[in-house]
Structure 1
Amino acid sequence: MRVLRTSWLLGNGRMVLLACAIVFSTGCSDRIQLPPKDVFERFQHVAPHRPAEKMGTATVTLPQPGPYRIRPGDVLEITLASFLSTVSIEQAIPQTQTTSIACRVQPPGHIVLPVVGQVHVAGLTIPEVESAISNAYYPTYTKTYPAVLVRLAEARKERVSILGVVARPGVYELRADQMSLVQLLAEAGGIVQPGASCIRILRPGQEGQTTITVPMRGPTVPFSDVPLREADQVIAERLVVPLFTVIGLVNRPGNFEYPPDANYTLIQAIAFAGGLDLRLDPRYAVIYRLDHDGSIIHAVFQLSDPKRPQATTTSINVPIRPGDIIAIEHTPRTRSREFLDRIFNVHIGAYLPLIR
């Protein structure tokens, strides 16, 4: 037993001497050179190139807010004096008696009434239709302007469809004054998570199909409203959430989602990866970023002060961007710590039964 203990002491003594020699040769410093100020400023202003989405050739003419205006295909219920609805003058009808007539607005934009015939109503509001009908009877058929009451019995509806990342995809019938992208999205329950990267409107035409691309202001809000036409097909393209990557001396390296409405900093990115490996006490991070021309630039950031290891620096608040790779890389100091950690863990663990 005494021989084994002596052998253990001699073996570990040699390992300690070897470890000290390695640490002495590699040094205890990180040997990291921080980038000059101009490199750091260039790094901060780099942004990956993204092709701009265009609105296409759509003419953005949305219905103006205000009273509803009659359109061809609408059905109107018109209430007027009963004597105005008869052609024969032989029949005595009390002037106080009223009659209701249902009229569909014809494609040219007119309705057909008893006695007076066609009356143009397309593009008029309900009060304007009442005035137009009253003027059609006066003064040829009445001595005074007759009282006319008009009600929109049925508004013309047009069919459009919507697919993609919405709550209720399908075919919808909208009133003519509701034929807009925002109104259709509301009918379909809105855009659901993870959101839409853009919205495409496929519009059939005599010369073929036209595609209108609408960019997004946010994951669930289109950049602008667009008028729709009958038979339009709307597709809300699924948003592909960009990623950032954290590798190196962290507890859980990997890829992490970067939502469009997020603004992460360096310390937050490291937190996603489970924090730094405290055994090795890394003090520097390198961020690799893709430039608009396809080249990769990088910058080194100091996480803690070497003179005060427990104190962080302002670099931990540097913003990161989608696509960034955050590398907590080895330095001579961290490699020395890792080597010593492995040596003492292995050898002390192996000879621990002998000490007992």
Structure 2
Amino acid sequence: MSIALSTSCDIRPDRRRATAARLLAVVLLAGCGTPGVRPSALPPELLARPRQSRAKLNLAGVAAPGSADAQIAAGDLLEVTISSGREGEEHDPVVARVGEAGAVDIPLVGPVAVAGMEATAAEQAISQASIQRGIYVRPHVAVELRSKAVNHVTVLGAVDAPGVHELSRTNCNLVAAIAAAGGLNDEAGTIVEIVRQSSLGARVAASAAAGDSVQLASYQPQPAAARTQRIDLTNSAAAPGCQLGDRDVVVVKPRDKEMVYVAGLVQKPGQFEMPEETELRLLDAIAMAGGLDSPVADEVLVVRNIPGRPNPVPIRCSIAAAKRSGSENLILSPGDAVSVEQTPATVVVDTFRNLFRMTLGVANNASLF
């Protein structure tokens, strides 16, 4: 049996070793005359497992229910104007930021809870608080949302626009972060890692950036401890409503390429990437390898590694049978090694082909004299 491996594609060292191991297994199993199992007789545990499709990614399942951007949230900057209605009164607006507890501190009136309200409801809340506290009798209150508080989220990996993105704090979730980064690209897999920063460290950093505190020039903040959360986008129940915080890092992992290995009597032996959305069968893999190198080649050995089994499983296939019956046209699994084997028939045909080439070559040389 002859086996050749194409070197036209880039193979990482670990994959190169895995490829060599698979091909060695093919050689040993073929050389030992291992009978193997026919594709139509494979037990369920040896069948190719269904492969995960990107079309089944459920981003909606990991999205947190957001709120309207018109709603006031902690960190938002408000402009509040209060007047008593007297003639000639100056109306100087007050610019104040909503605190982490959801209240805005207004001079004379004091703190008023406004988080979750829109501007009209906030005006009523401030008006009622000023009357209840004896500050005004019939105040006229105007509230304007000057700017929304944002989180800075870094999105890396298999997205179209990696980088740091600003997201509204009220709608800062995994789906919004991926959308801000242009969405998943063609290399994206199903795994996303979120590196979450310490909330205390984030508040200290935000406070320093806003100038809300005085620190010595020699002060060096200690890096906050981060924790990593791993999410499978195909299992939305694992992380429902995935909210993100300021300075969180989202890493969309690229999918692992699923490969099959084709060797033996084919035109272009080597390793080939399996199509993402469709199943790959035995005849498809042989076609990807350029087709058969011998017109009478028929016997094929497929070596399959099953998780939990110490030894690979040999599967004996027939090209002729695969053409006749779909059950014999084996569905391949990632990592399968396919070898189109030599038989007495292929040896005879190859011998005659070589003799014909030699005879033709001698005849051509003789015609030159």
The answer, yes or no, to whether TM exceeds 0.5 is yes
Match of 1:285 in 2: 300
Deviations 1:190-209 (A, max 9, x none): 23332246221122337832
Deviations 1:95-127 (A, max 9, x none): 9x9764433213443223354332122343434
Distance 1:353 1:312, change over 3 A: farther
Distance 1:224 1:193, change over 3 A: farther
**Aligned-pair distance for 1:176?**
0.7
The code of the aligned residue for 2:87 comes to: I
Match of 1:6 in 2: none
Distance 1:223 1:248, change over 3 A: farther
**TM alignment of 1:236-251, pairs within 5 A:** 236-251=252-267
Q: 2:75 aligns with which of 64, 73, 76?
A: 73
Match of 1:230 in 2: 246
Contact conserved, 1:217 with 1:223, CA < 8 A, in 2? Answer: no
Match of 1:267 in 2: 283
Q: 1:171 aligns with which of 149, 164, 168?
A: 164
Match of 1:12 in 2: none
Contact conserved, 1:241 with 1:257, CA < 8 A, in 2? Answer: yes
Contact conserved, 1:43 with 1:299, CA < 8 A, in 2? Answer: no
Distance 1:137 1:129, change over 3 A: same
Contact conserved, 2:260 with 2:272, CA < 8 A, in 1? Answer: yes
List gaps (5 residues or longer) in structure 1: 1-30, 51-59, 85-91
**TM alignment of 1:325-336, pairs within 5 A:** 325-336=337-348
Match of 2:349 in 1: 337
Q: 1:211 aligns with which of 223, 228, 232?
A: 228
The code of the aligned residue for 1:136 comes to: A
List gaps (5 residues or longer) in structure 2: 1-32, 53-61, 201-223
Deviations 1:310-341 (A, max 9, x none): x6442564321211112111122212211222
Match of 1:93 in 2: 87
SS in 2 for 1:339: helix
Distance 1:203 1:67, change over 3 A: closer
150-159 or 205-214, which moves further after superposition? 205-214
Contact conserved, 1:302 with 1:313, CA < 8 A, in 2? Answer: no
**Aligned-pair distance for 1:174?**
1.9
The code of the aligned residue for 1:282 comes to: A
Q: Distance in 2 between matches of 1:173 and 1:296?
A: 50
Contact conserved, 2:39 with 2:316, CA < 8 A, in 1? Answer: no
Match of 1:304 in 2: 320
Q: 2:102 aligns with which of 99, 109, 115?
A: 109
**Aligned-pair distance for 1:150?**
2.8
Deviations 1:7-34 (A, max 9, x none): xxxxxxxxxxxxxxxxxxxxxxxx9978
Distance 1:315 1:336, change over 3 A: farther
**Aligned-pair distance for 1:173?**
2.4
**Aligned-pair distance for 1:175?**
1.6
Distance 1:312 1:275, change over 3 A: farther
Higher-Rg member (1/2): 1
Higher normalized contact order (CA 8 Å, seq sep 6+, divided by chain length):
2
Give TM-score, length-normalised by structure 1. Answer: 0.70
Match of 2:119 in 1: 126
**Aligned-pair distance for 1:167?**
2.7
The code of the aligned residue for 1:103 comes to: A
Q: 1:198 aligns with which of 165, 169, 191?
A: 191
Distance 1:188 1:352, change over 3 A: closer
Q: Distance in 2 between matches of 1:134 and 1:101?
A: 15
**Aligned-pair distance for 1:256?**
0.8
SS in 1 for 2:354: helix
Distance 1:198 1:341, change over 3 A: same
Q: 1:258 aligns with which of 274, 291, 294?
A: 274
Distance 1:252 1:223, change over 3 A: farther
Match of 1:40 in 2: 42
The code of the aligned residue for 1:268 comes to: D
The code of the aligned residue for 2:186 comes to: Q
SS in 1 for 2:117: coil
Determine what percentage of the aligned residue pairs are the same residue. Answer: 27
The code of the aligned residue for 1:291 comes to: I
The code of the aligned residue for 1:93 comes to: E
**Aligned-pair distance for 1:212?**
0.7
Distance 1:348 1:106, change over 3 A: closer
1:319 matched to 2:336? The reply is no
Contact conserved, 1:302 with 1:315, CA < 8 A, in 2? Answer: no
